[in-house]
Structure 1
Amino acid sequence: MRRPFLAALLTTTLLVPAFAAPPLPEWREGDGYLIGVAVQYQGQTYRALQSHTAQKGANWNPASTPALWQLHHGPVQRCSPWQAGYSYQLGDQIRHEGDYYRARQAHTAHAGTEWQPPRVPALWQPIAQCDAVTPVPPGNTDTINGIKVPPDPGAAGRKTLAGIDADNDGVRDDVQRFLAQEVGKHPARFKYAMEMARITQQEILSAGGNDRERVRTLTNQWSLALDCFYDTYKNPTEDYEWRLNFSKKVAALHANTSDRMNAIKNSDAMASGMMFRSPIRYQCD
């Protein structure tokens, strides 16, 4: 089982074709897609809500899987009413029965699930008003390599398994600051490193549930983000030693308390013996 970056650092190969992909590629069964990637399918544009591989025979085409794909129709209008059946992106702001909410993660409010914002705090964060885009007060941020990041959580960030995520982007503040310092000068590299950190945080928080299929899904998503991270380098050996040390630091940071280390060990144990499929090719945003 991999820990962030280590296993794939030793075995990675570049899987993207030598030719340049079109701006909006056609969706293909068997391909891997990173969250946010846009594709064409049956003449319409869709955007990936989750990193995933379109497994052969699963019929996971964009039109048939609203949990994975959103028909692209522009951003949600600020403070529009919450709607069942609508696909929401991270950060979307809506109103519901006189209260206001911000989406904690991308999701589709499938009809019949009763996923109204007050019922699912894992998906929706109450906010004072729609103008309150971020819970981090203005001025209470630092700038590292041109990236605005939350303040250093210090010892308080190690008191709980989840730690502190002041801007609710799914990445612990101490991890976000580290990534901004290490790879913040390269926007694409930072983006994919953040996606891997976001998935690793989900692994840590869900490890106690003993859900092996969720572990499989998260591992596949993490691997896609890793592939896209590698694609920011010219070849597999570029900065190899630096990347190896970077991976060790990231792994140590994610597991910097005994509870987090135990959660990672539990996740690794659940993944032991599983079969994982590699996509035929993958699309990076």
Structure 2
Amino acid sequence: MRRPFLAALLTTTLLVPAFAAPPLPEWREGDGYLIGVAVQYQGQTYRALQSHTAQKGANWNPASTPALWQLHHGPVQRCSPWQAGYSYQLGDQIRYEGDYYRARQAHTAHAGTEWQPPRVPALWQPIAQCDAVTPVPPGNTDTINGIKVPPDPGAAGRKTLAGIDADNDGVRDDVQRFLAQEVGKHPARFKYAMEMARITQQEILTAGGNDREKARALFNQWRMSSSCFERTYGPTQEYEWRLNFSKRYEALHANTPDRMTAYRKGDELVGGMMFRSPVRYQCD
């Protein structure tokens, strides 16, 4: 239920045919936006700070919602906005009020502590901009379909719920290697598959918190990434392969008892919820 690849495939022919979006599409109320997507609004260019749906009537236009949109003056590298309540690892890179920071030490930004990056220089180091991905140490990478990936974590990668993420990109190393092998020859396909995997990992790691609204938000983000992934194919292109891919994708994410438990818990959290799809998704 929570990974509706089959539903997406079956409804592909019912969707509006894939359109050739202009280089910078106009922002529209009701659309869904992935993190990093650029849009035009009132003659200005904005980039999405987080994946979201511009709910109708909420007035979440780029000029009015700095938590969701950043005015774009030049190249902006992808990194997540700082959020209270999150656990950060050494080297994590974030955005906060238009500035960029790298974590000096691992910590949890407990709600109410007011540990915003500018307030705690012992925890956050200002940087010029975020790297697209925290690089893996030189000499400690493999190349799959032209993509540099961390080494195979092997059995060590199954010892904990989080597994091993050597390059700190939010995706387990074994999952990243799988995606590079399966869809790495297609840059856009690989990008959206990685975004799906990041969100799935967050769902697994946060399922134990029983936060249904957070589960709903993550699920909506995953649906947007999944929609963009599907649009890299034609309506019936490689249908059987995509069904098989979805099964292996899910099996890999839930490949230990703890991960399977968390995966099922995520299903329970969103069970019975109502979801409203935007008119369309904006994909890069």
Taking structure 1 as the reference length, the TM-score comes to 0.81
- SS in structure 2 at match of 1:39: strand
Kept after mapping to 2: 8 A contact 1:165/1:173: yes
What amino acid is aligned across from residue 247 of structure 1 in structure 2? S
Displacement of 1:279 after TM fit?
Answer: 0.8
Kept after mapping to 2: 8 A contact 1:32/1:54: yes
In the alignment, the residues of structure 2 paired with residue 19 and residue 195 of structure 1 have an alpha-carbon distance, to the nearest angstrom, of: 21
What amino acid is aligned across from residue 116 of structure 2 in structure 1? W
Partner residue, 2:116: 115
1:165 aligns with 2:169: no
Label 1:70 to 1:136 Cα distance change in 2 as closer, same or farther (>3 A).
same
Partner residue, 2:79: 90
In the alignment, the residues of structure 1 paired with residue 121 and residue 196 of structure 2 have an alpha-carbon distance, to the nearest angstrom, of: 24
Kept after mapping to 1: 8 A contact 2:165/2:171: yes
* 262-271 or 6-15, larger mean C-alpha shift: 6-15
In the alignment, the residues of structure 1 paired with residue 231 and residue 96 of structure 2 have an alpha-carbon distance, to the nearest angstrom, of: 27
1:28 aligns with 2:28: yes
Kept after mapping to 1: 8 A contact 2:92/2:168: no
Gaps of 5+ in 2: 82-89, 100-112
Displacement of 1:17 after TM fit?
Answer: 5.5
Displacement of 1:12 after TM fit?
Answer: 3.7
Kept after mapping to 1: 8 A contact 2:192/2:228: yes
In the alignment, the residues of structure 1 paired with residue 207 and residue 116 of structure 2 have an alpha-carbon distance, to the nearest angstrom, of: 24
**Higher RCO structure, 1 or 2 (CA under 8 Å, sep 6+):** 1
Label 1:40 to 1:16 Cα distance change in 2 as closer, same or farther (>3 A).
farther
Displacement of 1:34 after TM fit?
Answer: 1.6
How do 1:153-192 residues align onto structure 2 when only pairs under 5 Å count? 153-192=153-192
Partner residue, 2:275: 276
In the alignment, the residues of structure 1 paired with residue 53 and residue 80 of structure 2 have an alpha-carbon distance, to the nearest angstrom, of: 25
Kept after mapping to 1: 8 A contact 2:150/2:166: yes
Gaps of 5+ in 1: 77-87, 93-100
In the alignment, the residues of structure 2 paired with residue 251 and residue 113 of structure 1 have an alpha-carbon distance, to the nearest angstrom, of: 37
Kept after mapping to 2: 8 A contact 1:30/1:53: yes
What amino acid is aligned across from residue 246 of structure 1 in structure 2? F
Q: Give deviations 1:75-110, integer Å, cap 9, x for gaps.
A: 57xxxxxxxxxxx84299xxxxxxxx8544556579
- SS in structure 1 at match of 2:39: strand
Partner residue, 2:228: 228
In the alignment, the residues of structure 1 paired with residue 58 and residue 141 of structure 2 have an alpha-carbon distance, to the nearest angstrom, of: 44
Displacement of 1:23 after TM fit?
Answer: 1.2
* 51-60 or 16-25, larger mean C-alpha shift: 16-25
Kept after mapping to 2: 8 A contact 1:90/1:103: no
Q: Percent identity?
A: 79
In the alignment, the residues of structure 2 paired with residue 243 and residue 2 of structure 1 have an alpha-carbon distance, to the nearest angstrom, of: 16
1:70 aligns with 2:32: no
In the alignment, the residues of structure 2 paired with residue 134 and residue 227 of structure 1 have an alpha-carbon distance, to the nearest angstrom, of: 27
Displacement of 1:136 after TM fit?
Answer: 1.8
Kept after mapping to 2: 8 A contact 1:102/1:126: no
Partner residue, 1:197: 197
Label 1:231 to 1:268 Cα distance change in 2 as closer, same or farther (>3 A).
same
Partner residue, 1:59: 59
- SS in structure 2 at match of 1:279: coil
Label 1:89 to 1:276 Cα distance change in 2 as closer, same or farther (>3 A).
same
What amino acid is aligned across from residue 249 of structure 1 in structure 2? R
Label 1:186 to 1:135 Cα distance change in 2 as closer, same or farther (>3 A).
closer
How many residue pairs get aligned? The number is 260
In the alignment, the residues of structure 2 paired with residue 107 and residue 264 of structure 1 have an alpha-carbon distance, to the nearest angstrom, of: 31
In the alignment, the residues of structure 2 paired with residue 170 and residue 246 of structure 1 have an alpha-carbon distance, to the nearest angstrom, of: 20
In the alignment, the residues of structure 1 paired with residue 249 and residue 149 of structure 2 have an alpha-carbon distance, to the nearest angstrom, of: 17
